[in-house]
Amino acid sequence: MDLRYGMNPHQRPAKVAALDPGRPPLRFLHGAPSFVNVLDAAGAWQLVREAAAALGGPVAASFKHVSPAGAATAGPLDVVMAATYRLNPATTGRLTSAYVRARDADPKSSYGDFVAVSEPVDAELADLLRRVVSDGIVAPGFEDGVVATLAAKKGGRFLVVEADPAFRPPSVEHREVYGMRLTQPCDDAPLTRELLGEGLPGAAADDLLLGLVTVRYTQSNSVAYVRDGMVLGVGAGQQSRVDCTRLAGAKADTWWLRRHPAVPAGDQDKVQDRVAEQLRRVELLDAADREAWLAGRDGVAFVSDGALPFADNVEHAARHGVRYIAEPGDSIRSTDVSAECDRRGITLVRTGIRLFCH
């Protein structure tokens, strides 16, 4: 099918075609996608499908620029989420809760996101999506009437994409770059609880597993902070891993500071305006209030797609309430990393699997 344009508007014409025309992995039910829209839909769908299979429940992701801004399992909505998105926590369905928890990780970055959910979209989630700024959604199905509701978004330009949940990619993948063709096996190394060993609390194991799946579909270098089934901060695409750790930590800090009693949810009409007000209030907190509130965090999990090269990553992660770390291991300073974890009371898991995404 023809695309609106390639990576940029001046890259025309652009097309997408399934390798097997009789079994396309994605069906575009409404809207005209761009090259990046296709990449976002494919990456976001793979993330939620894999995470849902690993964790056994609904998962949602909020994708921007070929990396997740947030990902989450279904779960409770706190008072900030409920007020920000105008939802009743007692009656909100599981699929909607998963998306709210995913988007709320970094709502500023999720402005104009591509949504992915692991289960068919129902009327409740469609109604929420009418009220937030997003570009499209990919899901394994849509309940009756939902496609029409979503198709009306953005003046009829909202993208509605149906994924085939039974599709599995070929075992070998190819990429053409600068007149060269690169070939490699598909990255299908299983991410399971067995990678994490024994002795972890169940919630910590789930958070580490969600983090592992998330960084698999995040542009490298990448790290993720996770707590209670929610990714609270993603660091993507930095040349220095510790810069990823700092950036993602700052996002996790902002998420926590939005829960400060001095940061009300706001009473503006639009979700993005309520978020903007929260972020403005966060900036007005004085240093002592910020430090005291941030000190209350604990039980955060931290995942790195590549080996931690220096102990400074552990030092920075510890400042954000991290108590569990999963990384491949086998860097030349792995002993220093392990010693720093021991010194700070952090449980370190070495998975032996690097998860670079480029």
Which residue in 30, 221, 251, 320 is the catalytic one?
Answer: 221
Phi, psi of 76 (to 5 degrees): -70, 150
In whole angstroms, give the CA distance from residue 146 to residue 126. Answer: 6
Task: Tell me if residue 154 is catalytic.
Answer: no
Strands (DSSP E) along the chain, which ranges? Answer: 2-3, 14-15, 26-30, 59-64, 67-73, 113-117, 134-139, 159-163, 172-177, 180-185, 222-227, 230-236, 300-304, 322-327, 347-350
Which residue in 10, 15, 88, 358 is the catalytic one?
Answer: 358
Task: Tell me if residue 64 is catalytic.
Answer: yes
In whole angstroms, give the CA distance from residue 323 to residue 309. Answer: 19
- The label of the residue with tokens 């503006």 reads 268
- Name the pairing type of β-strands 159-163 and 134-139: parallel
Helix 241-257 vs helix 271-284: angle between axes, to the nearest 10 degrees?
100
In whole angstroms, give the CA distance from residue 134 to residue 327. Answer: 32
What is the C-alpha R_g of the chain?
20
In whole angstroms, give the CA distance from residue 37 to residue 113. Answer: 10
In whole angstroms, give the CA distance from residue 48 to residue 354. Answer: 20
In whole angstroms, give the CA distance from residue 286 to residue 288. Answer: 6
Task: Tell me if residue 316 is catalytic.
Answer: no
- The label of the residue with tokens 């021991």 reads 342
No. of helices (H) and no. of strands (E), the chain:
11, 15
Element (H, E) at 201: none
| Cα 212–chain centre separation | 11
Phi, psi of 327 (to 5 degrees): -155, 160
Which residue in 30, 37, 64, 251 is the catalytic one?
Answer: 64
SS3 115: strand
Task: Tell me if residue 221 is catalytic.
Answer: yes
- Would you please indicate which residues are annotated as catalytic (active-site) residues? 64-65, 221, 358
